[in-house]
Copies of this chain bind each other. A is one copy, B any other.
Amino acid sequence: MSITAPAGFAASGVAAGLKASGARDLAVVHNLGPLQNAAAVFTSNRCQANPVIWSKQVASDGIVSAVVLNSGGANCYTGTEGFQTSHATAEAAAEQLGVSAGDVVICSTGLIGEQLDRAALISGVEQASAALSEDEAGGLAAAEAIMTTDTHPKQAVVVGDGCSIGGMAKGAGMLAPGLATMLVVITTDAALDSAALDRALRAATRVTFDRLDSDGCMSTNDTVVLLASGASGVTPGEDEFALALTDVCRDLALQLQGDAEGASHDIAIEVVHAATEDDAVNVARAVSRSNLFKAAIFGNDPNWGRVLAAVGTTDAEFDPYGIDVAINGVQVCTAGEPDQPRDLVDLAPRATSILIDLHAGDHAATILTNDLTHDYVHENSAYAS
């Protein structure tokens, strides 16, 4: 169960003909109410796709009735014609669902710089609107329709005290922060207003999707939208809701990491005893973006020098010769000198842990990343063909 687990939501996924493979490529999520409150976060990339430009305006008033998502094309850098395609898609959904086009969020994913087939898209919206279902099958079909290089649909649900939260996500490459890092729809039947949803969503994404940095590349289309139907009639405490929402976001983020293109290791880079949380994030992110470090992990090589070489490129507070590094529990470097022999480190498991102790304060953060593999290069060298 996922986005249709909370009461008040219907979803569907159909094959609109946007993907050459004939697979499902268009999803609709409809908030049946009684509330239609929402919050959304978008990529911080300055080069934003037409659906992002459209949807930022839609979400700005905190009311979203439906979300239309398509794979098979990003509709980015496609000019006025591309923007009109996003607009026409929203109009088509509005007509089918009896809502206002100004309350329909549009999300697209795929190749940049190619026009989407507008007629296929609109026909797909009609088909998907007819197929809407409040059952588990509807949520699953939607999660399948937004997949690109994902190998499986990604769903999560947390059931709380009288209300619940469900989510779906797509994303396997171009995963780096900029608020969101992928397309994500989260639903809840909690009765919360848009301002409360916005606070909870920003708190949750800041420590989950924003800390997933699979390949350092920030997408033009990233969107995370949270829809509240209020159908449970329950208004949870804000903190309680934010914690549950964070659990859903973390679950989805870990699924995205685990399905990252070509990856053979899921790497958690934890920085502790940093002077500030920003320092911890910056140091962990610098390591997560070192191709040499990522290639070493692929080769099961505990090359901790490459960790420190990346740490040294940041302006975080630390003494370069006061840093400890542990890999999978083996402390290979203490205060800038070799400690345990590197051949004690077992990098065979997919789950990989890098612990960096800056000895500079009381803050900590973890960035999730992946290794750099032959398969990553292969998948991304032939994507457009």
Q: Which secondary structure characterizes the binding site on chain A?
A: loop
Contact (Cβ within 8 A) A309 B112: yes
Taking A112-B305, A305-B111 as contacts, is the C-beta distance between A296 and B218 under 8 angstroms?
Answer: no
A301 pairs with B112, CB closer than 8 A: no
How far, in Å, is A238 (CB) from chain B's closest CB? 32
CA distance A173 to B291 in the complex (A): 10
Partner of A220, one of B308, B314, B333: B308
Task: Say yes or no: A299-B381 contact (C-beta < 8 A), given A77-B333, A308-B220.
Answer: yes
A47 at the A/B interface (Cβ < 8 Å)? yes
Contact check, B308 vs A47: say whether CB atoms are below 8 A apart: yes
A305 in complex: contacting residue of B74, B292, B313, CB < 8 Å: B74
Contacts of A34 in B (CB 8 A): none
Which of B291, B314, B337 makes the CB contact (< 8 A) with A372? B291
Q: Quick one: given A291-B215, A301-B384, A372-B291, are A308 and B338 in contact (CB under 8 Å)?
A: no
Could you give, for residues 87-122 of chain A, a 1 whenever the CB lies within 8 Å of some chain B CB and a 0 otherwise?
000000000000000000000000111110000000
Q: Give A78 Cβ to nearest chain B Cβ, in Å.
A: 7
Does A298 contact B377, Cβ atoms closer than 8 Å? yes
Chain A residues 295-319 with CB under 8 Å of chain B are 295-296, 298-299, 301, 303-306, 308-314
Instruction: Assess whether A216 is interfacial by the CB under 8 Å rule.
Output: yes
**A contacts, CB < 8 Å to B:** 45-48, 74, 76-79, 111-115, 173-174, 178, 215-220, 289-292, 295-296, 298-299, 301, 303-306, 308-314, 320, 323, 332-333, 336-338, 342, 372-374, 376-378, 380-385
- What 18 new A-B contacts, CB under 8 Å, besides A47-B311, A76-B305, A112-B303? A45-B312, A46-B311, A46-B312, A77-B337, A79-B338, A112-B305, A113-B332, A113-B333, A115-B338, A174-B309, A178-B313, A216-B290, A216-B291, A296-B384, A299-B385, A301-B381, A301-B382, A374-B374
